[in-house]
Structure 1
């Protein structure tokens, strides 16, 4: 089983608005409906969905790219995956090229559907 999730999603908002929603605690909480604490700096930590998702920002390029060491709180201690959000303007919209790698065996299907249900659908609704 592959340990890679690749998704391409179009969001009806500019890269700036998408980047802000994914990196600002208040906006993330607003679109996700759950508490979030997100450091706006590379190297800073984040906690989303009331602490169910935690990690560290590895790279932040404003309005272009977010790379995070990302984990579900109930994974085995010390196990992190890597998520990459590349934001590309498409007219007034944004194409998110998303890759998630290095997650534990047996979690792919749950994670794959979770990105749509917990990130892309509420984000599009919030920004649209």
Structure 2
């Protein structure tokens, strides 16, 4: 049986900036700390985290939404790819990024949420916190 998980993270830059960073190989590798092969184009494959995660970008709505298939090396071999949707919403201090993953083994939802926190949500927030410093998004980071 499979489940869906959702997590959010507040980022101190506008949605456009986070969206671009997610789909840019150089910047994606900067916030994850691992090499990334990613074109950002719909239908194109990607790999990240030293090849431990791979998939295809299915939907790319500029500055608003990204949908990708994801297959982690940690998934059982017979498990179908998961679908990951990212949405980017503006806030008064930057943006809120919501990550929703469908196709998570029902018994491993906590571990998968921790995986996202450790490998993506915290590193993404820390990356932009360091770039922005004391200048929040509403003071011209956009």
Tell me the TM-score normalized by structure 2: 0.83
- Counterpart residue number, 1:117: 118
Whether the 8 Å contact between 2:84 and 2:100 is mirrored in structure 1 is: yes
Residue by residue, what CA displacement relative to the aligned partner does 1:2-54 show, whole Å, maximum 9, x if unpaired?
Answer: 61111122111111111112111110111111111112211111101010000
Larger Rg: 1 or 2? 2
Comparing 84-93 with 47-56, greater Cα deviation is found at 84-93
Comparing 92-101 with 103-112, greater Cα deviation is found at 103-112
Moved over 6 A (4+): none
Whether the 8 Å contact between 2:45 and 2:57 is mirrored in structure 1 is: yes
Count of aligned pairs: 128
Q: Does 1:43 align with 2:7?
A: no
**What are structure 1's unaligned runs of at least 5 residues?**
none
**What are structure 2's unaligned runs of at least 5 residues?**
130-142
Comparing 60-69 with 2-11, greater Cα deviation is found at 2-11
Tell me the TM-score normalized by structure 1: 0.91
- Counterpart residue number, 1:73: 73
Mapping of residues 17-96 of structure 1, within 5 Å: 17-75=17-75, 76-77=77-78, 79-96=80-97
